[in-house]
Amino acid sequence: MIKNTLLIFFTFATISFAQGINYFSTENRKEFGNFLFESGDFIRANQEYREFLSKQENDTIRVRYAETLFQIERFTEAADYFKSAFYNSSFEDEARLGYFKSLFFAGLYDDFKKDLEINEYISPVYKNNIMKLNTMTYYLEKNPLPDSTELLSYFEDEARIKMSEFYLRKDIPERKNGTKATLLSALIPGSGKIYLGEYGDGITAFIATGLLTFLAVDNFNANHKLRGAMFSGLAFLSYVGNIYGTALAAEKFNIGIKVNLDKEIRLYFKENNYFLPEIKY
């Protein structure tokens, strides 16, 4: 009797066990997805979570799915998914930070600022981080910077010093006056380049134009008309070429200042991981 009972029990157990092992079941997809998420394989975690969410709802998986989208740089989709976890989720605060960080990386600064006005979108826990991201949008934009007091108020210590230094350099760049440089070069060949800090080029231009002019005058004096005309032409070319080159160099210099500052700012943000906290979903 007992043996029979055992037999029946194990038979059922076997059948149910065998059927229970389905690696593609909703639950197993979640488990496997979590494993991939933690090992940093976000693109494959994304696939598993997508399958899971098509069958079942889970607030943790929802934010994690949004995070995978963020990690594989599909920022606008990530923003949408983070937004869908704003309410009735155990990660409401994290979702809000995730939402703003996705907008930030998508480069949608206008949307970022518009949503910043909606008070309930801002998580009290991560308000500081969101406001820091907001400040950074101003630094990365072309538009003139607004008043610095509010912008810098979310940064402390070293970061604050660095950010105010960037602020000053962006607000009042050490530009060179292109018109002044060009006029200088027109008066004395090469002097505009010296004003721009390119001493070698300036001196060379001065010597080249001077030498060609001297040769032209010298040849005319010696009655070598053809040679004189040739050197006059070259001297003229050199003179005008230098003026035009100075104007271009001034523009290049000013763009260079902007590009270099921009590079420095981006690098600084990146090195500090955009002042984002480490989040455990």
Partner 1 sequence: MRSVFIIWLLPILMPILISAQPELKKWEPVKSSYELKTNNEETSYSSDGIFTKMLSGTKTAYKFFISDLDGDNCPFHPSCSEFYVESVSKTGIFKGTFMFVDRFTRDLNFFKSREQYKVIKNNKFYDPVEYYISN
Partner 2 sequence: MRKVILVILLIAPSIFAQSELIIQKEYADNLFNSGQLFDAISEYKRLQFFDTEGKYRFYSNMKIGEAYKGGGRFDDAVTYFANAERTAPNDSLFFDAAVNVIRTNILRRTNDNAHQLLDKLEKDLRFNDRMNEINYWRGWNYIFEDKWLIASLVFEKIEKNHPLALISKQTDKNKYSVNFAKVISYILPGFGQFYTGNYLSGLMSIGWVGLTGYWTINSFVEKRVFDGLVIGNLLFLRFYRGNYQNAEQFTIEKNIEVSNKSLINLQNNYQGIKP
Selected range binding partner 2 among 41-49, 80-88, 91-99, 138-146, rule: CB under 8 A: 41-49
User: What type of residue is 123?
Assistant: S
Residue selected from 2, 21, 118, 172 as contacting partner 2 according to rule CB under 8 A: 21
Helices (H) and strands (E) in the chain, counts: 14, 0
Residue selected from 15, 222, 229, 248 as contacting partner 1 according to rule CB under 8 A: 248
Q: How far is the CB of 24 from partner 1 (least distance, A)?
A: 19
Measured from the CB atom, the residue of 102 and 242 that comes closer to partner 1 is 242
Binders of partner 1 among residues 104 to 133 (CB under 8 A) are none
Residue 222 as a binder of partner 2 (CB under 8 A): the answer is no
Measured from the CB atom, the residue of 23 and 87 that comes closer to partner 2 is 23
Q: How far is the CB of 46 from partner 2 (least distance, A)?
A: 11
Residue selected from 26, 28, 60, 84 as contacting partner 2 according to rule CB under 8 A: 28
Binders of partner 2 among residues 76 to 115 (CB under 8 A) are none
Please name which of 71, 27, 82 lies closest in space to residue 46, comparing C-alpha atoms.
Answer: 71
Sign of the alpha-carbon torsion through 126, 127, 130, 135: negative
* 266-269 contacts at long range (C-beta below 8 A, 24 or more positions apart): 266/140, 268/162, 268/166, 269/136, 269/139
Residue selected from 146, 173, 200, 277 as contacting partner 1 according to rule CB under 8 A: 200
Cα separation, 129 vs 153, in Å, equals 12
**Residue 200, binding choice from partner 1, partner 2, none, Cβ under 5 to 8 Å by partner class:** partner 1
Q: How far is the CB of 61 from partner 2 (least distance, A)?
A: 17
Measured from the CB atom, the residue of 14 and 179 that comes closer to partner 2 is 14
Residue 48 as a binder of partner 1 (CB under 8 A): the answer is no
Residue 75 and residue 100 in contact, taking contact as beta carbons nearer than 8 Å: no
Q: What is the dihedral of CA 202, 208, 210, 212, to 10 degrees?
A: -160
Measured from the CB atom, the residue of 13 and 43 that comes closer to partner 1 is 43
Q: What are phi and psi of 128, to 5 degrees?
A: -60, -45
Cα separation, 22 vs 31, in Å, equals 12
**Residue 146 has which token pair?**
């607004």
Q: How far is the CB of 97 from partner 1 (least distance, A)?
A: 22
Residue selected from 26, 28, 41, 121 as contacting partner 1 according to rule CB under 8 A: 41
Q: How far is the CB of 32 from partner 2 (least distance, A)?
A: 5
Residue 44 as a binder of partner 2 (CB under 8 A): the answer is yes
Residue selected from 1, 2, 40, 41 as contacting partner 2 according to rule CB under 8 A: 41
Q: Which residues bind partner 1 (CB under 8 A)?
A: 41-43, 72-73, 198-201, 203-205, 208, 237-238, 240-242, 244-245, 248-249, 251-252, 255-256, 258-259, 262-263
